Each structure stands twice: as structure tokens, then as C-alpha cells.
């Protein structure tokens, strides 16, 4: 290859890398801009938030006052605890249900298996709002409204978890499973003692999806919960609205920062397993 050809090839590679990374950086900036705006608003005084001239960086630091006002306006720590209980309860039951189902669809042969998987895929197309009314009526007749159970029960069975984990289990070596069967192990024992320990990335990936979805869910808790002591973080943020004086946007942004921080920290801790789980299950 001639030197001029090598130089032009390198220049094209550098130009393509610069273009691709430039697009990715621009997309990352657009995605992070609301978060940056929220953080900066949480440390601004009210006068700077509502002034005519826009300034991204505050001229006067007012963060301590805003966070104090946020904690005084509503019991944010209680909302965080409620969100953690609801998300943990939903996730645990989802995994207990989805893992055996996904394993059966991936590794077992039984009549109606293709039809059952088709129903799982079809379930991904049903919006969560569709069964809201019949579920509310059923919970009202059972007398379980205003409970943690009413916020968690509709999400115990996750078709997305079944689909995601099935994709991972399909790539698990059949030879290991056959060897375990020859050793006298039952299917449930194979699932929980052999297959699940190797499914950490896929479980972590789904856990991130599940926790983020239900931590940020406002629709269903707003329907079944009227007691502020059971409010989840998004529902608790509604306590910052003041019908007489309006909303304190500095305190509102501070409260939003407090309830967003656990999600950001959890994702940063689980990001490697999350990325590995997405790539290993073939969901791109």
C-alpha cells in the first residue's frame, strides 16, 4: 500500500471517529441537559429562577436553603423508603416468577411452547394503563387499596423479564444441564443452583429496568394510594405544589435531586453488569 493511500485511510478513520464521537457527545449533552438544569436550579435563589435574563450558573449559592425547604415541605426520606420497599418487593417477586418461566421456555420441550412464547411477546404490546380500571375495582372490593400490596401486585408477573432472561438462557450450554440431570438434579435445582449464578449480568440488566420503571412510576400509585404516608417518590413530589403561593421551584428541584440520586448511584454501581447483560442477551 502506498504511503499516500495509508495516510488517506488513516484520515478517513480519524474523521469517522470524530464524527461518531461528536454525535454521541451531542446526544449525551441533550440527555443530560435536564439533569444539569435541575441540579443548578436546586442551588439558585428564587429571584434568579424567575428573572427575565437567563443565567445557567447561579450568581448566589442558595442550595442549603433549598434542600432544607425540600426536607421541611415533605418527608422525602419516607418517600425514599416507600419507593425502596415497593421496588424491592416488585423486583424480588418478578425474578422468582420470571426465572423458572424463562428457563422452561428456553430449555424444556412441552406442548404449546411456541404459542406460550407468542403470548409472552404479545404481552409486551399491552400498555400498563389497559388493565388499570379492572385492577382498581378488584383491589377496592378486596379492601387492599392504600397498601404496599396494591402498588406492587399488578407488576409481579413481568413478560419483559421472561423475554429478556429467556434470551440469556438460550445461550447457556445444554451439555452442563444434561450433566446435571445425569447427576440426579431436578429442574428447579438446576435452575437455582447452576443456571441462575451464571445469569448475573442478565438479572442485573433487568433489575435496572425494573427499579427505574417503578421508582419513577406516578400513574399507578396515584390511583391506588391516597395516604401520604405510603407515597412513593414521584407521588410525594406533588406535595411541593402550593395552591396559594405556587410552587417553590428551588425546593422542588432540590427534592427531585434527592429522589433521583439513588437511581443514578445504583446505575453507576451496576453499569458494567447492565451493559454485559444487554449485550449477552442480544437486546440492542
Q: In this model, does residue 41 exceed pLDDT 80?
A: yes
* Dihedral-angle region of residue 282 (phi above 0 means left; psi in -120 to 50 means alpha; beta otherwise): left
Q: pLDDT tens across 154-200, in order?
A: 999 999 999 989 988 888 888 888 888 888 888 888 888 888 888 88
> Which cell numbers in the block locate residue 276?
454485559
pLDDT the model gives residue 75: 86
Backbone angles phi and psi of 160, in degrees to 5: -65, -40
Cell of 89: 418487593
Here the contacts of 62-70 (C-beta below 8 Å, separation 24 or greater) are: 62/250, 63/254, 65/250, 66/42, 66/248, 66/250, 66/251, 66/253, 66/254, 67/42, 67/251, 67/254, 67/258, 69/248, 69/250, 69/251, 69/254, 70/240, 70/251, 70/252, 70/254, 70/255, 70/258
Question: In the prediction, which pLDDT does 42 show?
Answer: 87
Helix (H, G, I), strand (E, B) or coil at 75: coil
51 pLDDT more than 90? no
The per-residue pLDDT for range 69-82, each reduced to its tens digit, is 888 877 888 999 99
* Predicted confidence band of residue 245 (pLDDT cuts 50, 70, 90): very low
Q: For residues 62 and 45, is the Cβ–Cβ distance under 8 A?
A: yes
Higher pLDDT, 219 or 271: 219
* Residue bearing cell 428457563: 103
Amino acid at each position: 500500500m502506498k504511503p499516500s493511500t495509508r495516510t488517506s485511510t488513516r484520515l478517513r478513520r480519524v474523521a469517522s471517529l470524530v464524527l461518531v464521537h461528536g454525535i454521541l457527545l451531542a446526544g449525551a449533552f441533550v440527555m443530560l441537559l435536564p439533569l444539569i438544569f435541575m441540579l443548578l436550579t436546586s442551588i439558585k435563589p428564587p429571584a434568579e429562577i424567575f428573572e427575565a435574563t437567563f443565567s445557567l450558573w447561579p450568581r448566589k449559592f442558595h442550595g442549603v436553603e433549598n434542600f432544607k425547604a425540600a426536607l421541611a415541605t415533605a418527608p422525602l426520606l419516607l418517600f425514599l423508603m416507600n419507593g425502596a420497599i415497593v421496588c424491592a418487593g416488585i423486583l424480588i417477586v418478578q425474578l422468582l416468577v420470571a426465572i423458572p418461566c424463562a428457563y422452561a421456555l428456553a430449555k424444556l420441550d412441552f406442548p404449546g411452547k411456541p404459542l406460550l412464547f407468542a403470548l409472552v411477546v404479545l404481552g409486551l404490546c399491552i400498555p400498563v394503563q389497559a388493565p388499570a380500571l379492572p385492577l382498581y375495582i378488584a383491589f377496592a372490593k378486596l379492601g387492599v387499596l392504600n397498601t404496599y400490596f396494591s402498588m406492587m401486585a399488578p407488576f409481579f408477573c413481568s413478560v419483559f423479564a421472561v423475554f429478556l432472561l429467556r434470551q440469556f438462557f438460550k445461550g447457556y450450554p445444554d451439555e452442563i444441564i444434561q450433566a446435571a440431570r445425569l447427576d440426579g438434579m431436578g429442574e428447579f435445582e438446576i435452575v437455582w443452583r447452576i443456571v441462575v449464578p451464571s445469569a448475573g449480568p442478565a438479572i442485573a440488566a433487568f433489575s435496572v429496568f425494573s427499579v427505574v420503571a417503578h421508582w419513577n412510576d406516578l400513574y399507578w400509585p396515584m390511583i391506588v394510594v391516597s395516604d401520604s404516608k405510603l407515597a412513593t417518590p414521584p407521588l410525594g413530589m406533588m406535595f411541593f405544589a402550593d395552591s396559594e403561593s405556587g410552587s417553590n421551584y428551588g425546593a422542588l428541584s432540590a427534592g427531585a435531586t434527592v429522589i433521583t440520586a439513588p437511581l443514578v448511584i445504583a446505575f453507576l454501581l451496576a453499569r458494567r453488569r447492565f451493559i454485559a447483560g444487554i449485550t449477552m442477551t442480544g437486546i440492542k
